[in-house]
Each structure stands twice: as structure tokens, then as C-alpha cells.
């Protein structure tokens, strides 16, 4: 059995997904690299400097350049979760009832990250199973979209991002979602990530569009529509 010296930053990422860390612990003794710390009682520093030369690690331990598709997609899903977090704050201020859905989506995005960060070509079968993406998250999105759509007026014009802070922030999240989807596409196409991850992101942008419209409607805020400039 081989052992892996693991950096605290990666350990923190893995700890956010306990299923993965348990699997690693079962198969591979993890040795936390404490060479940067001056004493056991001190918290590990957030930086290890091992990424300074433009390379970083996947969850399977591969070193890849930071411009690799995997880190690009990880960065985009991280950014997507951050903007959803901001939109959620605006929605909470307005008392919207759907913020629990945004919480769930942020958790699913962690699973998306785990799947992307565990490239199939260097993952063991057990890792593949543990980081398998569950399609239930896609079904949930479809149910939520259908429920909101039933309440919304029909769409007869191009809607421009608008309709109050909650709605506009959700539109911004939608555009970041589409970038995340574009960056995941080549990873899925090469067989390195689960196709359901791409499907989830594709459905998520539709959800964010619909919930943005729903937020504007509930706040009685006008949505700007496209008009051909005179
Ligand atoms: N710029 C980046 N964008 C997206 N994901 C990244 C980026 N850099 C690293 N990662 C991923 O996130 C994990 C944690 O990031 P971290 O910044 O700690 O990595 P690092 O730059 O390699 O290390 P350090 O910051 O300690 O020098 C990495 O193990 C890697 O999987």
C-alpha cells in the first residue's frame, strides 16, 4: 500500500466531501505535510507555496499546470457557487422561499467539483464509484423549473438581466453557470468526468433563468425586455 503526502489545502477540499476522504483513508495512508508548521498545536497555514510555479494537484495526486481544463472547470464551479451565495443573500433579504434550493445547489456544486477533480484516467475504480455524480440533482432542478414556470407569465420577449437585485444576481449566476458548462464540456467529452455533471450544469442555467424571473415577479419588479434601438 502506498502512502500520499497531502497538502493541507487539498485536505480541506477533500474534507468538504467526506465520502472521498474516507475512501482515501481506507486505501491510502494520508500523511499531512506539516513541514511548514512550527508546532503541532498551531493551525496549518492556508498556503503551502507548492502551487507557486503554476502547477497544482488533482484529487488523484496528479500534478498538472494550473491552466489545465480541470483547474479551469474547478475555478468556474467555485465562482458559480460564490455568485449563487451572493444571490442567496439578496433573496434572503427579500424573504424568498426558494433559498433552500440555492443551499442544495451549492452542495451539489461541491460534488460537481469532486467529480471534475478526480480524472477518470488516474482514478481507481473505488474513487470513480465514490465520486459518481447522482442524477437525482438533475431531476430536482427539472421539478423546481416546472413549478416556477406554472406561476410565471408566458415568455413573449427577450428578457434582459434586470428585475431587482435578487433577480439580477441570479442572472449573473446563470451566465457564470454557462461558462462552467463550457469548461466542463471538453472534460466530459474526453471521458474524464461524468456526463451527468454537464447535464446538471445545462439544467442549472435554465433553473437560474427561471428563478430570476420568479424573484422579479414576487418582488413586483419590472423585467426589462429587449427593444430594437431606434
Ligand atoms: N487557480 C486555481 N483554480 C482552480 N483550482 C485550483 C487553482 N489552484 C489550485 N486549484 C485546486 O484547488 C486545490 C486547493 O488550491 P490551493 O490554492 O491550495 O493549491 P496550490 O496553489 O497548488 O497550493 P498553494 O496555494 O498552497 O501554493 C488544489 O489542490 C487544486 O486541486
For residue 99, is it within any domain?
yes
Give the domain CATH number at 152.
1.20.1200.10
Per-residue confidence band for 44, with pLDDT thresholds at 50, 70 and 90 = confident
Q: Atom 21 of ligand 1 has which residue's CA nearest to it?
A: 51
For residue 46, is it within any domain?
no
Helix and strand counts by DSSP (H, E) for the chain: 8, 4
Residue 12 has pLDDT above 90, yes or no: no
Q: If you ran DSSP here, which 8-state letter would residue 95 be given?
A: T
pLDDT of 79-137, one tens digit each? 999 999 999 999 999 999 999 999 999 999 999 999 999 999 999 988 888 898 999 99
Give the range of the structural domain holding residue 95, as residue numbers without chain letter. 65-219
For residue 86, is it within any domain?
yes
For residue 35, is it within any domain?
no
ipTM over 0.90: yes
For residue 52, is it within any domain?
no
For residue 89, is it within any domain?
yes
Quick one: residue 154, left, alpha or beta (phi over 0 = left, psi -120 to 50 = alpha)?
beta
Please report, for residues 98, 142, 152, 162, 193, the alpha-carbon distance to residue 147 in angstroms, rounded to integers and kept in the order given: 11, 9, 9, 22, 30
For residue 224, is it within any domain?
no
The residue behind cell 455524480 is: 133
For residue 2, is it within any domain?
no
Residues with CB under 6 A from ligand 1: 9-10, 13, 47-52, 56-58, 66, 71, 74-75, 117
Q: How many domains does the chain have?
A: 1
Give the distance (Å) from ligand 1 centre to CA of residue 72.
Answer: 11
Q: Are 33 and 7 in contact (CB under 8 A)?
A: yes
Q: CA 76, CA 113: separation in Å to the nearest integer?
A: 10
Amino acid at each position: 500500500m502506498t502512502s500520499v503526502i497531502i497538502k493541507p489545502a487539498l485536505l480541506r477540499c477533500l474534507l468538504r466531501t467526506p465520502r472521498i476522504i474516507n475512501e482515501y483513508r481506507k486505501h491510502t495512508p494520508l500523511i499531512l505535510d506539516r513541514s511548514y508548521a512550527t508546532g503541532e498545536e498551531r493551525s496549518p497555514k492556508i498556503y503551502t507555496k507548492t502551487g507557486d510555479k503554476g502547477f497544482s494537484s488533482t484529487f488523484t495526486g496528479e500534478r498538472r499546470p494550473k491552466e489545465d481544463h480541470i483547474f479551469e472547470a474547478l475555478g468556474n464551479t467555485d465562482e458559480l457557487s460564490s455568485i449563487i451565495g451572493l444571490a442567496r443573500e439578496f433573496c434572503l433579504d427579500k424573504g424568498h422561499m426558494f433559498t433552500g434550493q440555492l443551499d442544495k445547489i451549492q452542495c451539489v456544486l461541491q460534488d460537481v467539483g469532486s467529480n471534475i477533480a478526480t480524472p477518470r484516467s488516474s482514478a481507481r475504480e473505488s474513487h470513480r464509484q465514490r465520486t459518481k455524480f447522482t442524477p437525482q440533482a438533475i431531476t430536482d432542478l427539472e421539478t423546481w423549473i416546472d413549478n416556477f414556470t406554472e406561476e410565471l407569465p408566458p415568455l413573449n420577449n427577450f428578457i434582459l438581466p434586470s428585475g431587482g437585485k435578487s433577480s439580477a444576481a441570479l442572472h449573473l449566476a446563470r451566465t457564470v453557470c454557462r461558462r462552467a458548462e463550457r469548461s466542463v464540456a471538453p472534460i466530459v467529452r474526453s471521458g474524464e468526468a461524468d456526463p451527468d455533471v454537464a447535464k446538471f450544469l445545462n439544467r442549472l442555467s435554465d433553473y437560474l433563468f427561471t428563478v430570476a424571473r420568479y424573484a422579479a415577479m414576487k418582488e413586483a419588479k419590472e423585467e426589462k425586455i429587449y427593444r430594437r434601438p431606434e
